[in-house]
Amino acid sequence: MERTVSNFSKGDKHNLLLPKNISIQSFIDNMPIGIYACDLSGHITYYNNAAEKLWRCTPKIGEEMWSGLPKLFLPDGTLLPLEKWPMTIAVQQGVYSQEEEVVIQQPDGTKLNVLEHPMPLFDSNGKLLCIINTLQDVTEQRKSETKQAMLAAIVESSDDAIVSKSLQGIITSWNFGAEKMFGYKEREMIGKPITTIIPEAHRTDELMILSKIRNNERVEHYETYRQTKAGTLIPVSLTISPIIDKKGNIIGASKIARNISKQKEVEKTLQHHAENLEIMNSMGKLVSQTLDIDVILQTVTDSTTRLTGATFGAFFYNMVNDKNEPYMLCKLSGAPKEAFENFGMLRNTAVFSSTFNNGAIVRSDDITRDERYSGNFPLNEMPEAHLPVVSYLAIPVVSKTGTIIGGLFFGHPQPGRFTKEHEGLVSAVALHAAIALDNAKLYAEVTRLSDKKDEFISLASHELKTPITSLRGFLQLIEESLDEADDNKKFMKIALTQVKKLSDLISDLLDVSKIKAGKLPLSFSHFDLIQLAKEVVIQFQFSVRSHVIQLESREEKIMVHGDKQRIEQVIINLLGNAVKYSPDATEVKVLVTGNETTASLSVQDFGIGIAPELQQHVFSRFFRVEDEASKPGLGIGLYISKEIVQRHNGRLWVSSVPSVGSIFGFEIPAK
């Protein structure tokens, strides 16, 4: 029906204006609020559709009394006795409560919160006719109020700061958590701009946050800083969500700020430990990989200076020179060497002597005020600008034998910079350093002795070379002068063979010295490797009767560019070993092959072979397989051969199976 004025009958203020064809009865029947009436004896005389819907039952008019339902409760759940029902009180006592909330229970057990408001109805003479009660369902409203109250309680009891603000950044709510975190009371902050708690340097945060909120985006776990009323900066993690009204408009933002100071502290501590660990690890690695005292000292100085956060660090290390005179090596970190130049009399000062002589750890928050050391401290003697040391830490470096071999010293211009933790860390490093330095010292000693040995071998072989050469010459003269029938000729030949062996040994030793000095001379020429191999085999077979040397080659000629004599030396050495280390065999094979780029020669024997784990060592200087100590030799033949082949840009290799035999071979570039 159209709602036009003509459809309604006119009335005064209290008259009901209804469309002409709608009766009051049907108007009340269909009202959205429950209405029912009881006569003065309490019998129900009327109820409308909404009341029926609330009760979910249809009480008999004139028969049932007080209400459509048998029970009423108070909102707290207690049963309300009949005499206290709003309708009963109104009928029996003529008292009409303003509005009372009760809980009704529908036949299926569903409970609803209902506002009852009984009102008396009088006739035109003022006589009471009946009581009309209205029933207003407020269940949903109560539910949402409870939810609101719960949310409010959660917000209030939260340790996080929960704040809401308008799209203009004006604070609209401020919980207890926010009061605790930022020090401002709710009344101080409502209506204030949120920038009150945003430090100057982080103001751009707010622009970014507001623009995201306007786009209906959430900002999650955004880490930044906020400022308290006292001016302290605290690290916070922010989660900000848009606040949307019922119509879907974004009207502001809710912000949860969590104080992450503790988390940051833990992160910082973790990071600090991780950094320390990394410094220790890389220091450990460097120090254990080197035997160079200088490198160890510098690495330890740099690492410990970083570990302690010192402005400078120094490692003083006691050394003894060749003349057995003590001197001190000093490595620095963080300060120029000139700054330490006045440190001449280190040990004579009280501060250094406690560490150097007594092995004491010295840690001072302010060494300039320390009674024990002030006046003595060498730094006092220096111009202030050089090393303004206030915090001071000294850790002795003690070797395994208990000798104090040095000390680590650290300084910082501010007081109280070194802690017990630094003491522990540096002490641990000092322990490690002492071991590494002891090893390096030992290594230096071994190297020095080894150099002396090399020097001796070189000198001795030089000294032996001349007399042996002249001895050999004279023996040859005598041997040639003797008649074939003369028995002495035979002895002289044996003597000559032995002298040759001696001479070869001395030559080998001389070669070793030359290789060590990088002075093994080579003289290059072009020659045919097959031809050379043939000559060597024939010559070798002369002196060796125990084995047959078989030479094989598919090529006619393999030209190489090299030192013919030295390559011959290599082949003889390989043949000599093949015979020496295959006492039970009768055969040795020599194979010469070649192509455009490479010429190869291998010598195969059927002897004792070499265990796989020892094969890589046979080319080392003076190495001999222990079991073979009974066989003559010095362990230098393969070492010299390898050097010769390598000087030809070639490769000497071995392939061997114990008890089956070995193949030694070399490859050198073909011409």
Neighbour tally for 659: CB within 10 Å: 8
- Least distance CB 615 / ligand ADP (angstroms): 9
- Least distance CB 659 / ligand ADP (angstroms): 11
Closest CA to 365 of 409, 308, 415, 424: 415
AA identity, residue 647: R
- Least distance CB 579 / ligand ADP (angstroms): 9
Distance of CA 326 to the CA centre of its chain: 43
- Angle (CA) 516-519-524 rounded to 5° is 130
- Least distance CB 566 / ligand ADP (angstroms): 15
Is 8:17 a contact under the CB 8 Å cutoff?
Answer: yes
- Least distance CB 541 / ligand ADP (angstroms): 17
Q: Which of 496, 635, 670, 671 binds ligand ADP (CB under 6 A)?
A: 635
- Least distance CB 642 / ligand ADP (angstroms): 9
Q: Which is nearer to ligand ADP, 303 or 662 (CB)?
A: 662
Neighbour tally for 111: CB within 10 Å: 13
The residue with its CB nearest to ligand ADP is: 633
AA identity, residue 332: L
AA identity, residue 525: S
Q: Which is nearer to ligand ADP, 300 or 579 (CB)?
A: 579
> For the sheet containing 171-174, what is the strand order?
171-174, 161-166, 250-259, 233-244, 219-227
- Least distance CB 573 / ligand ADP (angstroms): 6
Which window, 17-25, 82-90, 475-483, 602-610, contacts ligand ADP (CB under 6 A)? 602-610
Query: Any contact of residue 639 with ligand ADP (CB under 6 A)?
Result: yes
- Report the distance separating Cα 160 and Cα 181, nearest Å: 8
Pick out residues in 192-211 that bind ligand ADP (CB under 6 A).
none
Pick out residues in 464-503 that bind ligand ADP (CB under 6 A).
none
Which window, 112-120, 211-219, 340-348, 574-582, contacts ligand ADP (CB under 6 A)? 574-582
- Least distance CB 512 / ligand ADP (angstroms): 10
Helices vs. strands in the chain: H and E counts, helices first: 16, 23
Query: Any contact of residue 605 with ligand ADP (CB under 6 A)?
Result: yes
Q: Rounded to a whole number, what is the distance in angstroms from the first to the last CA of the chain? A: 118
- Least distance CB 457 / ligand ADP (angstroms): 15
Q: Which is nearer to ligand ADP, 113 or 662 (CB)?
A: 662
Q: Which is nearer to ligand ADP, 335 or 544 (CB)?
A: 544
Closest CA to 314 of 296, 327, 300: 300
- Least distance CB 551 / ligand ADP (angstroms): 17
Q: Which of 618, 644, 652, 668 binds ligand ADP (CB under 6 A)?
A: 618
- Least distance CB 403 / ligand ADP (angstroms): 41
Is 606:615 a contact under the CB 8 Å cutoff?
Answer: no
Look up residue 77 and give its two tokens.
């759940």
- Report the distance separating Cα 443 and Cα 449, nearest Å: 10
Query: Any contact of residue 171 with ligand ADP (CB under 6 A)?
Result: no
- Report the distance separating Cα 445 and Cα 441, nearest Å: 6
The SS3 assignment for 160 reads coil
Q: Which of 250, 628, 651, 670 binds ligand ADP (CB under 6 A)?
A: 628
Q: Which of 636, 644, 645, 668 binds ligand ADP (CB under 6 A)?
A: 636
Query: Any contact of residue 398 with ligand ADP (CB under 6 A)?
Result: no
Q: Which of 142, 624, 647, 671 binds ligand ADP (CB under 6 A)?
A: 624
- Report the distance separating Cα 54 and Cα 94, nearest Å: 25
Is 48:30 a contact under the CB 8 Å cutoff?
Answer: yes
Q: Which of 279, 297, 509, 610 binds ligand ADP (CB under 6 A)?
A: 610
Q: Which of 236, 608, 644, 645 binds ligand ADP (CB under 6 A)?
A: 608
Query: Any contact of residue 607 with ligand ADP (CB under 6 A)?
Result: yes
Query: Any contact of residue 634 with ligand ADP (CB under 6 A)?
Result: yes
Which window, 153-161, 436-444, 526-534, 600-608, contacts ligand ADP (CB under 6 A)? 600-608
State the DSSP H helix or E strand holding residue 565, giving kind and residue range, or none if neither.
helix 564-580
- Least distance CB 500 / ligand ADP (angstroms): 16
Q: Which of 340, 377, 527, 581 binds ligand ADP (CB under 6 A)?
A: 581
**Angular region, 251: left φ>0, alpha ψ -120 to 50, beta rest:** alpha
How does strand 587-594 pair with strand 548-553? parallel
- Least distance CB 599 / ligand ADP (angstroms): 21
Closest CA to 208 of 190, 232, 224, 227: 224
Q: What's phi and psi for 560, nearest 5 deg?
A: -130, 165
Closest CA to 122 of 131, 134, 111, 114: 131
Q: Which of 167, 243, 625, 670 binds ligand ADP (CB under 6 A)?
A: 625
Query: Any contact of residue 578 with ligand ADP (CB under 6 A)?
Result: yes
Query: Any contact of residue 637 with ligand ADP (CB under 6 A)?
Result: yes
For 209, half-sphere exposure in the C-beta direction (CA atoms, 13 angstrom radius) is 30
Contacts with ligand ADP by CB under 6 A: the residue count is: 22
Query: Any contact of residue 343 with ligand ADP (CB under 6 A)?
Result: no
Q: Which of 139, 172, 633, 653 binds ligand ADP (CB under 6 A)?
A: 633
Q: Which of 113, 299, 513, 662 binds ligand ADP (CB under 6 A)?
A: 662
For 576, half-sphere exposure in the C-beta direction (CA atoms, 13 angstrom radius) is 16
Q: Which is nearer to ligand ADP, 479 or 628 (CB)?
A: 628
What sign does the CA torsion over 23, 29, 33, 37 have?
positive
Residues in contact with ligand ADP by the rule CB under 6 A: 573, 577-578, 581, 605, 607-610, 618, 623-625, 628, 633-639, 662
